[in-house]
Every structure is written in C-alpha cells, then in structure tokens.
Amino acid sequence: MMRIVNAILVVLMLAAATWTYSVKHEAERNLAEIRNLESRIAFEKDTIDLLEADWAYLSQPARLQKLSDLYAEELQLRPTEPQQIVRPVELPAPPAVPSGDGIAEIIAGEMADPMMTGSVEGN
C-alpha cells in the first residue's frame, strides 16, 4: 500500500515540477516580451522627441521668413492686404439646393424633427 502511495506522490511531484517549470518558462518569455516592448516604446518616445525638435526648428518664424524671402518670386507670396480680410457676414451665401431632388426635403425634415439625439428629446 505504501508503494502505491509513494508512486502516486512521485507522479504528483513530477507533475508539479513540470507545471512549475512551464509557468517559470512562460513568465520568463512574458518578461522578455515586456522588455522588448519597453525598449520599443522608449525608441518611439525618443523618435517623437526628435520629430518634435525637428518640427520646432523647421517652423521657427525667423526660418520661415528667410525661406519666404528666398522663394518669394517662385511662390508669388505677398502679404495679406487689409481689404482681403472679410467678416463672416460678408461671405456670399451658400448656393440654394434645388427642390425636387429630395435633399432639400430631407434637410427640412431633419430640422423639424423634435428628437435632438437618440435618447434626448428636444424642446
């Protein structure tokens, strides 16, 4: 009887050792993947920092002014005249949608719909 119990305990011990080894191996593999991801994230953050520094340099107003002056003839850049600036009320009205195509009716129907969203009723 003791031999059977000992054999069962040995089998259980081997199964537990195998399970422990597989869990340890899986944990080591996950840790390696985490380290790989952390290094990739650090690389991407460094790349973002470098790109932001590039953008800050490339978009300096003094640099853009030099480029604008250098390529003024090719680009035909001119300062904005005050009369070119208009208020929204001075803009032309949008073209009227011809009736009969269904779009105007759809738009008119949406405006008359008392429901503002799917769950909130309008006033």
Of the candidates 77, 55, 79, 56, which has an alpha carbon nearest to the alpha carbon of residue 67? 77
For the record, the structure tokens of 1 come out as 């009887």
- pLDDT at position 112: 56
Query: DSSP class of residue 59?
Result: T
3-state secondary structure of 97: coil
- pLDDT at position 48: 96
pLDDT in tens, 78-103: 888 888 888 888 888 877 766 666 77
Q: Kindly give the parts of the chain with pLDDT less than 50.
A: 122
- pLDDT at position 38: 97
Q: How far apart, in whole angstroms, are the C-alpha atoms of residue 60 and residue 67?
A: 11
The contacts of residue 87 (CB under 8 Å, 6+ apart) are none
The H or E element that residue 71 is part of is none
- pLDDT at position 17: 97
